[in-house]
Amino acid sequence: MATGIVRTYNDSKGFGLITPDLGGAPVFARQASIATPGVRKLKSLDRVSYDVLENAEGLFATNIQLVRG
């Protein structure tokens, strides 16, 4: 499982970008991939953990969990 910081997130469109802690290309995050119970949107600078799915369109975060603390 990877970790990173939410760089941008657009509430009205339900998507944003995560900057991975280990560097590399930003990862696309969709609202439907947020797996933390009770959380429906992300905020810039939120720390998250996630799984990465790669397809022809790029890198996508799945199973996004807020890291608390």
User: Domains, the chain, ranges and CATH?
Assistant: 2-66 (2.40.50.140)
* CA 60 to the chain's CA centroid: 8
Instruction: Give the whole-angstrom CA distance, residue 3 versus residue 50.
Output: 6
- The pTM of this model reads 0.93
Distance CA 57, CA 25 (A): 13
Give the pLDDT confidence of 15-65 residue by residue, as tens digits.
Answer: 999 999 999 999 999 999 999 999 999 999 999 999 999 999 999 999 999
The pLDDT of residue 29: 98
